[in-house]
Amino acid sequence: MVEADDEVGRRPQVVIVGGGFGGVFAARRLARADVDVTLIDRGTSNVFQPLLYQCATGLLSEGQITSPLRTLLRRHRRVRVVLGEAHGLDVTRGVVTAKRPDGSTFELDYDHLIVAAGMRTSYFGHPEFARFAPGMKNIDDALAIRRRVLSAFEMAETIPDREQRREWLTFAVVGAGPTGVELAGQIRELATRTIGREYRSIDPSEARVLLFDGAGAVLASFGPSLAAKAQKTLDGLDIEIRLGVLVTDVDATGLVTTTKDGTETRYPARTVLWTAGVEAAPFLTKVAEATAVPQDRQGRIAVEADLSVPGHPDVWVIGDAASRDGLPGVAEVAMQGGLHVGGVIRRRVAHPAEKPAPFHYRDLGSAAYLCRGHAVLKLGKLELSGFLGWVLWGAIHIAFLAGVRNRFATLASWLLTLGLNRRAERAITYGDPTAAEQPYP
C-alpha cells in the first residue's frame, strides 16, 4: 500500500480478481468512477459458460462463446487488464500477489479488492477422478470433452469386437443438473441427427447415454412439475437415467455407483463426463486465510449484506464464490453482484461517510435446454416447457452473449444445425504440442 504522503493526486486503486461475468460487470460499473481499475485473470477471454456444452459437442466454436477481455474493456481508459493467476493476499499491506504464465510473480496494490474468482469442478474428495472424467468449467474442459466424445465414435468405427465397441459407444454423464442434462441431450442429438449417416461400420444412433445423480429427480432445483416434464423428454431421447445413486469410483473403462443401501453397480463406459459439483477456486482459500473468515463446505466465503468480507470493508467477494442468503451459483448473481459492488465503491470514493447499500438479488429465472424444440424455463412462479420454453431459452442466451459478432454467429450456427443437421465445430486438438494430452495410452 502506498503511504499517505505519496497519495496526493493518486486515484484509489481497485483490483478485480476474475474476468467472468462478475468481474467484467464490476469493471464496467467502475469505468467512469474516479479510480484506477486492474482486472486480473488467468485467461485472456470472458467465457459464456452457459453454452460451454454446445462447444463441447461441436455445435459452437470456442470463439462464439468467448470475448477478449481487452476488447470488452478497450473503451474504458482507466481499466487495465493483466494476465496472471492470483495466488496470494496480504490485507495488511493491501497487496495481491499473482503468477505470470511462466511462473514468475508480481504484485498489485489495492485500496479496494473485488474477488470474482468463481468456482471449479468438485470431485467430492476424489481428485483422482479428474483424469478419467473431465468437468466443464472453462474452454479447455469443453475442448477436452469434445475430443473424448468425437474420438469415441472414431474408436468404435475401427474396433471389430462388439463388446469393446459398446464400451466406446457408451457415454456416462455424472450430475443431472442443468449442465449435465444439457450435455447428455446434446450427445444424443449429435449421435442421432448429425453423424448418423457418416460412419460405415457403426450406427452412431446406438450410442448409449447414461445420466447419474444422487438426487431423486433430474433438474431438482426447477421444482417437481418441470423436473417431471424434463425427465419425460429425456426418456423420449432414450437417455438412461439413474437417480438416487452416488458415483464412488471412476477409471478408464467405466464407473461404479453405490445406492443408499450399499449396493454397487459397475457401468462399462469409455467416456465419463463430470458435472456433479463445484468448489471454490484456490484463491478463495488465500482470501479466507488472510481475512480470518471461514469457508463453507464448497469453499465459499460468507459475506456481509453489501457483499464485503466480515471485518474487511475494502474486500468484496461476488458471484458463486460468495455465500449469502442462499444465493444460487448462476450468472445473474455474478452480474448483479458486480454491478452492486462497483456502485458501492463509486459511492464510497465520492462520499466516504455514506453507509454501503445492501445487495438485493433480482431472480431472473433459470433455464435448461433438453433437445431440439424442448427446454424448461422457470421465471418466479411462471413455468414454461416444450417449444415455447425452447424459443425463450434461445432468446435469453442470445441476449446475454457478449458482442454483436458472437450473437449473429451463434444464431447462424443454430439455424444451420436446425436446417441441415450439421455441426461445423468438430475439429479436435491435443493441447500444447510439447505436452499434449493424448486421448489413449
For the annotated catalytic residues, the residue numbers are 182
Which residues, other chains included, contact 181 with Cβ-Cβ below 8 Å and sequence gap of 6+? 211, 218, 219, 230, 234, 368, 370
Contact in structure between 52 and 135 (CB atoms under 8 Å): no
Could you tell me which residues are beta bridge partners of residue 80? 38
Write the CA distances from 163 to 159, 170, 441, integer angstroms. 9, 11, 20
Secondary structure of residue 401 in the 3-state scheme: coil
Write the CA distances from 433 to 46, 162, 426, 430, 436, integer angstroms. 25, 34, 19, 7, 5
Residue carrying the nine cell digits 486480473:
40
Annotate 333-399 with DSSP letters as a single string: HHHHHHHHHHHHHHHHHH-TTSPPPPP------EEEEEETTEEEEEETTEEE-HHHHHHHHHHHHHH
Say how many CA atoms lie within 13 Å of 251 toward its Cβ. 5
Kind and range of the H or E element at 15? strand 13-17
Burial 34-45 (b: 16+ CB within 10 A, else e): ebbbbbbbbbeb
**Amino acid code (one letter) for 63:** G
Count other C-beta atoms under 10 Å from residue 162's C-beta.
7
Residue 118 backbone class (left: φ over 0; alpha: ψ -120 to 50; beta: rest): left
Contact in structure between 186 and 59 (CB atoms under 8 Å): yes
Report which of 343, 113, 130, 121 is spatially closest to residue 251, judged by C-alpha positions: 130
DSSP state of 18: -
Phi, psi dihedral angles at 333 (to 5 degrees): -65, -45
